[in-house]
Each structure stands twice: as structure tokens, then as C-alpha cells.
Structure 1
Amino acid sequence: MKNYLCKWIPPRADFLATLSADEQKWMGQYGDYLNELLAQGVIVAHGPVINDGEGYGVSLYQIADDEDIADYTSQDPIVKNGVGHYEHYDMPHLSARK
């Protein structure tokens, strides 16, 4: 198994305060997508991080050795709609409570 911390970076610093109607819809789809991966056991945890009014998303993935993390993050509805991007960080070890 491979482990990753994935950081979703919004397209602008004030993104959360200035969401368009389309972006609000896509953010809902983003949450649904991550929750589905959580239910499947692909994601261990996910959630928003807020820092001085700005934010980004964090997800912890645990995937098979023959899988590519970009295959998951590129299918995220918010990214597919051109809103923000992901950074991927390899985690050599991930311990999680059950």
C-alpha cells in the first residue's frame, strides 16, 4: 500500500468567501466524491483547513501499490471543472485509528 497526503489548492485566496453558484455546486460534488472514496476505504480522512480566513482541503489516501494517486485526484469533480488543483505528498508510513 502507498499513502499520500493530498492538498487541494483553491484557485484564489478568497475562494471560500467568493464562491459562484457553479463553484458552490462543484464544491458539493467534491465533498460527495471524497465521502464516496472514504466509504470505499481509499481515503482514510479528509476535511477543510482554514487559516486566517483562507482555506484548502486535505485528504489522506491509502492506495494499492499499482495505483496512481493522480488517477483519483484528477477525477475529483472540482478539478474536472477547472477549479483549483492538487498537490500530492508521499507518506512512507500512515498509522490511523480504526
Structure 2
Amino acid sequence: MTKKHFCLKLIPARPTFAQDMTEAEREIMQKHVVYWKELMDQGLVIVFGPVSDPAGTYGLGIVEVENEELLKSMTENDPASSINHYEIYPMRAITPQK
């Protein structure tokens, strides 16, 4: 089965989120990093991390999944989805041969 690629943009609750997180928000974001690292270790995530946009930092991830149901599960189960939200875009990714 051909895998599908998606670009995920994690939009924070406010433009200053990265600079002024509360302790509770920081704890959630630490769990978020652990969660996505585990998905990366499973081969589902190609790259993820914060983007230092002058208009406001946001998260970016590129994923490779077999179906959109898995993608939905991945974003819904992300601890950060309780305080932020995702924009999801399909990609025609060109990746190295495995």
C-alpha cells in the first residue's frame, strides 16, 4: 500500500505561547514532544519541531501514514491538542528510497 504524506501545523493558543507558557502548558508541551518522538521511532513521523516565525512560533510535522484514520488518531491523541489546534495539509512528498 502506498503511504500518504501530510504536513501538520500546530497552531498555538496565542502568538506569544512559546514565550509565556504557564507551568501547566509547559508540562503538556513536554508530553507532546515525548508523544511525537515515540511516533517518530515507529516510523510515522519524518520530521517535527517548532518553527520560529516572526509572527509567532508554531509547530510543524511531516508524517507518512497508511490512511487518514491513523492521522486523525495521531493528532487527536496528542496531549497538545487539548490546548492548541492542528491544520492538516496533504502533500505529494518526494522522499529517499528505503
Provide TM-score, normalisation by structure 2.
0.88
Matched, 1:92 2:92: yes
Amino acid at match of 1:91: M
1:10-40: CA deviations, max 9, x gaps?
0001101110010010010000011000000
Identity of aligned residues (%): 29
Report the structure, 1 or 2, having the larger strand content: 1
Amino acid at match of 1:59: G
Aligned-partner Cα distance in 2 for 1:72–1:64 = 12
| C-alpha distance 44-96 of structure 1, shift in aligned 2 (>3 A) | farther
Matched, 1:60 2:55: no
SS at match of 1:54: coil
Q: Structure 1 unaligned segments of length 5 or more: list them.
A: none
Q: Which runs of 4+ in 1 moved over 3 A?
A: 65-68
Q: CA deviation at 1:78?
A: 1.1
CA contact (8 A) 1:44 1:62 kept: yes
Amino acid at match of 1:32: V
Aligned-partner Cα distance in 2 for 1:30–1:56 = 13
CA contact (8 A) 1:3 1:94 kept: no
Amino acid at match of 1:44: I
Q: Structure 2 unaligned segments of length 5 or more: list them.
A: none
Aligned-partner Cα distance in 1 for 2:68–2:86 = 20
Provide TM-score, normalisation by structure 1.
0.88
1:43-71: CA deviations, max 9, x gaps?
01111101126200001100013644221
